[in-house]
Amino acid sequence: MRISDNSIVADFLASLNHSRARINRLNRQLSTQKRILRVSDDPDGAGAILRLNSDLQRVASYKEGVAGGKSSLKMTADSLGRVSDLLQEVKGVLTGATGSADPSLLSKFADQVDQFLNLGLEIANTQFDRKYIFGGTNTTTPPFVRTGTPAQVVYRGDASAISYQVGDGASQVVNVNGLAAFGSTGEISFNGILDRNAAVNTTVSNTMQVTDGLGVSHDVVITMRKIDANSWAMSAALPPRSTGATLSGGTATISFDPVTGKPTETLRGAPLVMTPLVSPPAQAAPALTMMVRAGTLAEEASGGGPSAFTGTQKSISVFNKLLELRDTLQSGKQPTADDMAFIGIMQDVVMREEARAGSLSESLTAADTYLTAHREHLLDLLGDKQDVNLAEIGMKLSQEQVMLDAALSAAARVIPKTLLDFLK
Amino acid sequence: MSGISHLLETARRALLSQQYGMAVTGHNIANASTPGYSRQRAEFSTTSPLSTSSGFLGTGVMVENVTRLRNRFLDQQIRSSNDSLGMANSEYQILSQIEATFNEPSTSGLSGAMDRFFQAWQELSTHPEDAVTRNALMLEGKAMTDTFHRLNAEMRTLRGSLGDEITSKLNRINTLSKDIARLNMDILSAGSGGQNPNDMKDLRDAKLEELSLLANISVSEDSLGSVNVSLGGTVIAGNGDFRTLRAVPGTTTSIAGTDFDQLRIVTDISGGDVMLTGGEAGGLLKSYNTTIPESLGRLDRLAGAMISSINEVHVSGYGRQNPPHNGINFFMGTDAGSITIDLTDTSSGAAPGTGPSIDNIATSSSAAAGGNNDIALLIAGLDKKKPLVSGGGATLLDGLSISEYYNQTVVRIGSDVNSADTMIQSQELVVAQLTQQRESVSGVSLDEEMTNMIKFQHSFDAAARLVNTANEMYQTILGML
């Protein structure tokens, strides 16, 4: 085959250009530390990088939400712990006041309760990250407001849960609303007559309406069973096949004076707890916890007629109960055993919500752990797709450089030579 | 006549012929680097012999012709490969510019802007009542719509400049057609005078080769040496005759849901369509009519889907107004060029987009709860939601999510660039191999020419010695007298 001078030059230039292009590309990879500089370098790889970058950003925002949620829940749990401590102190004050008939001493106890009330309200209106943490989704205004005459504490928040996205298709509640923590207590008191002459194990029932924490009414069957001469055991249950709520507790034993027929003692079992069933489950509706009171229930001889009674529900928030106790003490009256019991129930509810905040925080920690692992996994994948192998690139670059030097050296020797160099 | 004068005549012919050969060698050496030059060769032949009583006596040598060494089959193959190479080159350049416009993978591309926009919604879901977070979302939304506008404007500008480039390429095609038609006439004219116009043929071949890079031409040569050039079945250059091509507006066509004007190529005389489907001009035309509109159309569809899907959720949500209300669009516009943040309360008669306010960003499904984040969460999840469905029930974005559709668009462009690059590399290899084969036939080898030069020089020396000898013979005879 004839080889013309032009073809030698053209071949050399083509090889030189290709070699320089490869060196240029390796240099760019080396300087940017990235294997893919344009989509066309590796379209599938570039598509994966876009996806992975997008996933990483999303994971980062989930983690940010989780961190914010955890901080908020920690603040919530701490606040509830402080309210629980306050209620413990209130119990101490009530114990002191129970044994005192001195109006001035009771007035001082009233002042102490008032301080606890103010402190409690301050805690209930805690702001974290510029949000009222106990207002449900109403986070912009104080949830607990003292208003009216006589003063009452009104809840201006809602019972809604706030959920953060903690993963693709996964969300997590990050709040405990004030209604559940401080306003989901109440009492059921009874009115009516129980037959003193009734035989032991005689039962009498009545169906009453109990309104749950979402404002929905449910039928609750209250049953009184005579257990001895002057004592009746009370129990509560939902009618068969009822839906919309679950019920637990609601047990007590009420003893009556054999002469006057008035209640002398109420031995409480578990308080009546009604939990509404709502959808979706994330909208954690508050469970309503109610104390049972004998109220004006009386035991009379059968001359008074057959046994018949009714129950009345009343919701009482922590702060309104403290207001009531303060006023009671202020007026020189001693607190009752029911008051002590009620504060105990309220403290239990606050502690229950504190535990729930802790549990939610634990779930967020688990989500955070998963997100951290997921992020590491995504970074590994991104590194595989995107990062250059420095050793490999360095070797390739050296190889290309050697080849280019060799080509240049060969060309420098071959191209200038013609027959003319050898003719005399 | 077989005397000394015959000897001198033979020597004279030899001297002239070797000189001619030397001249052709000189021409070859002079044009060794001339693009498109085909080496020439002086064709030596013996002159007519004399019939003598002793038989035929040779009368010497003559240069019968000067031929150029050219393989037409290789020319044809190179022109055919040039067509694909030119097209691939054009497409590669345009697609590379589109790829550079998208600027992926990087943090400054649309992918990053969309990620940050949806991330801002995610962050707003954790602080729905916060003005700073709302403002951040507004800024990310603005950055994203700006990126849509930039991509749309840059690709439309690129498309607009292609119109000028197509006209420029057509002008060059027209010039080459005209040159080829004129060269046809010159070659025929020279040929009819018994000449072999090698250099004119080289020039015509060079122009044909240049033309083959520009368009999908086919070339046929008639028995007289004139070539006919046709483009997509339409003859554009013949013997002294040529057609001028120009680009005219075609029928508007819907591509990926957006209407685009089209260009078609017609001849000046008949006005009939010319099927320009190859070469650089063909690549530019395809890019103008199809490639860029596809990318623009997909971008429009993406923007349209974002506008409708986000607005559909946003109008149902409540903002931070006093009192909070709903019914406000987040975006206005219909495509990548018009997507803009609306967030204007039009219930009071304000025109859309005239009063965007962060308070009008809807995050809540309830008018009463500022901390409710239902709407923010729904919108934050829209980038991964699929299929997106329009208000009329139609599936948007081919059933893909927003991020999937965009990634597919970018990857498709990258793959097209990659394919065009591969095509260029393979066609360059083919053309290089064919060119090398042609060079082995037509290229000038200086070594070969030097060898020829020495050969002709020695032949010339020998012929001169013959003259000397004949002269001495004359002297001898004259000395005898």
Residue A125 pLDDT more than 50? yes
Q: Which residues contact B166 (CB under 8 A, 6 or more apart)?
A: B247, B263, B281, B284, B285, B288
Supply the pLDDT for residue A282.
47
Total domains in the fold of chain B: 2
Quick check: A139 and B129 CB within 8 A? Answer: yes
Residues A189 and A314 sit within 8 Å (Cβ to Cβ): yes
**Same domain for B224 and B126:** yes
- The residue among B63 and B392 whose pLDDT is bigger is B63
B316 assigned to some structural domain? yes
Quick check: B440 and A162 CB within 8 A? Answer: no
Start-to-end CA span in chain B (Å): 21
Q: How far is CA B325 from the centre of its chain?
A: 56
CA distance A327 to A332: 9
Answer whether CATH 3.40.50.1820 is correct for domain A34-183+316-387.
no
Average pLDDT for residues B216-226, to the nearest whole number?
Answer: 91
Residue B348 pLDDT more than 80? no
Tokens at residue A307, please?
């046994």
Residues B371 and A136 sit within 8 Å (Cβ to Cβ): yes
Which positions in chain B touch A41 (Cβ < 8 Å)? Answer: 414
Q: Same CATH topology for A34-183+316-387 and A185-313?
A: no
Picking from B372, B451, B458 by the largest number of A CB atoms within 10 A of its own CB, the best residue to mutate is B372
B102 assigned to some structural domain? yes
Quick check: B370 and A140 CB within 8 A? Answer: yes
Which positions in chain B touch A50 (Cβ < 8 Å)? Answer: 104-105, 111, 403, 406-407, 410
Which positions in chain A touch B447 (Cβ < 8 Å)? Answer: 418-419
Residue A84 pLDDT more than 90? yes
Predicted confidence band of residue B244 (pLDDT cuts 50, 70, 90): very high
Please tell me the total number of residues recorded for chain B in this structure. 481
Average pLDDT for residues A388-414, to the nearest whole number?
Answer: 88
* Partner A, chain B 258-317, Cβ-Cβ below 8 Å: none
**Same domain for B194 and B59:** no
Q: How far is B255 from chain A (nearest CA, A)?
A: 23
**Same domain for B268 and B386:** yes
Supply the pLDDT for residue A285.
66
Domain that holds residue B128: 76-430
- The full 3-state SS of chain B, as one line of letters, equals CCCHHHHHHHHHHHHHHHHHHHHHHHHHHHCCCCCCCCCEEEEEEECCCEEECCEEECCCEEEEEEEECCCHHHHHHHHHHHHHHHHHHHHHHHHHHHHHHHCCCCCCCHHHHHHHHHHHHHHHHHCCCCHHHHHHHHHHHHHHHHHHHHHHHHHHHHHHHHHHHHHHHHHHHHHHHHHHHHHHHHHHHHHHCCCCCHHHHHHHHHHHHHHHHHCCEEEEECCCCCEEEEECCEEEECCCCECCEEEEECCCEEECCEEECCEEEEECCCCCECCCCCHHHHHHHHHHHHHHHHHHHHHHHHHHHHHHHHHHHHCCCECCCCCCCCCCCCEECCCCCCCEECCCCHHHCCCCCCCCCHHHCCCECCCCCCCCCHHHHHHHCHHHCCCCECCCCCECHHHCCHHHHHHHHHHHHHHHHHHHHHHHHHHHHHHHHHHHHHHHHHCCCHHHHHHHHHHHHHHHHHHHHHHHHHHHHHHHHHHHC
Residue A74 pLDDT more than 90? yes
B439 assigned to some structural domain? no
CA-wise closest residue to B57 among B45, B70, B42, B47: B47
CATH architecture of A185-313: Sandwich (2.60)
B334 assigned to some structural domain? yes
Quick check: B439 and A38 CB within 8 A? Answer: no
CA-wise closest residue to B329 among B316, B339, B342: B342
| Amino acid occupying residue B20 | Y
Predicted confidence band of residue B471 (pLDDT cuts 50, 70, 90): very high
| Amino acid occupying residue A413 | R
Average pLDDT for residues B5-9, to the nearest whole number?
Answer: 91
Predicted confidence band of residue B390 (pLDDT cuts 50, 70, 90): confident
Picking from B107, B365, B436, B451 by the largest number of A CB atoms within 10 A of its own CB, the best residue to mutate is B436
Q: List pLDDT tens digits, range B43-63.
A: 999 999 988 888 899 999 999
**Same domain for B374 and B238:** yes
Residues B83 and B37 sit within 8 Å (Cβ to Cβ): no
Average pLDDT for residues A183-199, to the nearest whole number?
Answer: 90
Long-range contacts of B340-346 (CB under 8 A, 24+ apart): B340/B145, B341/B138, B341/B141, B341/B142, B341/B145, B343/B138, B345/B321
CA distance A309 to A188: 12
Quick check: A40 and B99 CB within 8 A? Answer: yes
Supply the pLDDT for residue A64.
93
Task: Among A5, A11, A420, select the one facing B32 at the smallest CB separation.
Answer: A5
**Same domain for B142 and B61:** no
Average pLDDT for residues A395-411, to the nearest whole number?
Answer: 89
Predicted confidence band of residue A424 (pLDDT cuts 50, 70, 90): low
- Between A362-366, B2-6, B199-203, B326-330, the lowest mean confidence (pLDDT) is in B2-6
Mean pLDDT, rounded, of chain B:
92
**Pairing mode, strands B258-260 and B253-255:** antiparallel
Supply the pLDDT for residue A307.
80
Q: Which residues contact B49 (CB under 8 A, 6 or more apart)?
A: B56, B57, B58, B59
Residue A421 pLDDT more than 70? yes
Average pLDDT for residues A394-423, to the nearest whole number?
Answer: 84
CA-wise closest residue to B96 among A241, A49, A40, A368: A40
Mean pLDDT, rounded, of chain A:
89
Supply the pLDDT for residue B375.
94
CA distance B443 to B71: 11
Q: How far is B195 from chain A (nearest CA, A)?
A: 27
**Same domain for B338 and B242:** yes
Q: What percent of chain B has pLDDT over 70?
A: 100
Average pLDDT for residues B437-448, to the nearest whole number?
Answer: 91
Residue B377 pLDDT more than 70? yes
Quick check: A165 and B125 CB within 8 A? Answer: yes
- Residues forming beta bridges with residue A164, ordered by sequence position: A172
Q: Identify the H or E element spanning A234.
A: strand A231-237
Residues A170 and A367 sit within 8 Å (Cβ to Cβ): yes
Which positions in chain A touch B122 (Cβ < 8 Å)? Answer: 58, 61-62, 65, 165
Residue B257 pLDDT more than 50? yes
Q: How far is CA A154 from the centre of its chain?
A: 23
Predicted confidence band of residue B343 (pLDDT cuts 50, 70, 90): very high
**Same domain for B121 and B18:** no
For the entire predicted model, the pTM comes to: 0.83
Residues A61 and B119 sit within 8 Å (Cβ to Cβ): yes
Tokens at residue A255, please?
């003893």
Q: Which residues contact B163 (CB under 8 A, 6 or more apart)?
A: B247, B263, B288
Q: Which residues contact B92 (CB under 8 A, 6 or more apart)?
A: B417, B420, B421, B423, B424
Predicted confidence band of residue A5 (pLDDT cuts 50, 70, 90): confident
Q: Identify the H or E element spanning A380.
A: helix A337-386
Supply the pLDDT for residue A323.
94
Q: Which residues contact B479 (CB under 8 A, 6 or more apart)?
A: none
Q: Let me know if B456 is exposed, middle or buried by CB neighbors in 10 A (0-12, 13-18, 19+).
A: buried
Residue A284 pLDDT more than 70? no
Picking from A1, A3, A6, A127 by the largest number of B CB atoms within 10 A of its own CB, the best residue to mutate is A6
Q: How far is B188 from chain A (nearest CA, A)?
A: 30
**Same domain for B391 and B368:** yes
Which positions in chain A touch B415 (Cβ < 8 Å)? Answer: 40, 43
Q: How far is A37 from chain B (nearest CA, A)?
A: 7
Residues B227 and B184 sit within 8 Å (Cβ to Cβ): yes
Q: List pLDDT tens digits, range A352-361.
A: 999 999 999 9
Supply the pLDDT for residue A280.
52
Q: What percent of chain B has pLDDT over 90?
A: 76
B152 assigned to some structural domain? yes
Supply the pLDDT for residue A349.
92
Average pLDDT for residues A52-60, to the nearest whole number?
Answer: 92
Start-to-end CA span in chain A (Å): 28
Q: How far is A345 from chain B (nearest CA, A)?
A: 30
Q: Which residues contact B239 (CB under 8 A, 6 or more apart)?
A: B181, B184, B185, B188, B226, B228
**Same domain for B144 and B46:** no
Which positions in chain B touch A61 (Cβ < 8 Å)? Answer: 119, 122-123
Q: What is the largest CA-CA distance in chain A?
A: 155
Average pLDDT for residues A375-390, to the nearest whole number?
Answer: 92
Q: Identify the H or E element spanning A393.
A: helix A390-414
Supply the pLDDT for residue A9.
84
**Which DSSP string corresponds to A101-155?**
--HHHHHHHHHHHHHHHHHHHHHHT-EETTEETTSTT--SS-SEEEETTTTEEEE
- The residue among B347 and A382 whose pLDDT is bigger is A382
* Partner A, chain B 77-116, Cβ-Cβ below 8 Å: 95-96, 99-100, 102, 104-105, 111-112, 115-116
Supply the pLDDT for residue B25.
95
Residue A279 pLDDT more than 70? no
B435 assigned to some structural domain? no
Q: List pLDDT tens digits, range B175-205.
A: 999 999 999 999 998 887 777 789 999 999 9
Domain limits, chain A:
34-183+316-387, 185-313
Q: Is B353 touching A (CB cutoff 8 A)?
A: no
Q: List pLDDT tens digits, range A226-236.
A: 999 899 999 99
**Same domain for B475 and B353:** no
B453 assigned to some structural domain? yes
Supply the pLDDT for residue B481.
80
Q: List pLDDT tens digits, range A209-229.
A: 998 877 888 999 999 999 998
CA dihedral B136, B138, B141, B143 (to 10 degrees): -70
Q: Which residues contact A365 (CB under 8 A, 6 or more apart)?
A: A70
**Same domain for B456 and B416:** no
Average pLDDT for residues B119-147, to the nearest whole number?
Answer: 93
CA distance B109 to B103: 5
**Same domain for B454 and B361:** no
